[in-house]
Amino acid sequence: MYGIPLIEKLEELKKKEKILVIVGSEKVPREVYEIADYNISITNQPHSEIAALAIFLDKIFDGKEFFKEFENAKLKIIPCERGKKVIKNK
């Protein structure tokens, strides 16, 4: 909530091959802020950590996370309007 707005660093972050994301606020030790390369905020308004992570990932992946498939996945989720459909891969 107090870092640099994501939109200002988004293109720079997208160029990184790997990113370690630490989500939190007052629970994050000060040392983490001292060694971090970035201190990014999603908004300057209060929000949940999981909501912040979801927005961050959606922005980083340009919404493509909905279409990503993982090799050797044990489960596959099939989108449905009602209920859920899960396929176990062998």
Q: What is the pLDDT of residue 44?
A: 80
**Terminus-to-terminus CA distance in the chain, angstroms?**
43
Beta-ladder partners of 86: 77
Mind listing the pLDDT tens digit for each residue in 37-73?
999 999 887 788 899 999 999 999 999 988 888 889 9
Mind listing the pLDDT tens digit for each residue in 6-18?
999 999 999 999 9
> pLDDT above 90 covers what percent of the chain?
61
Beta-ladder partners of 88: 75
Contact criterion met (CB below 8 Å) for 52 and 2: no
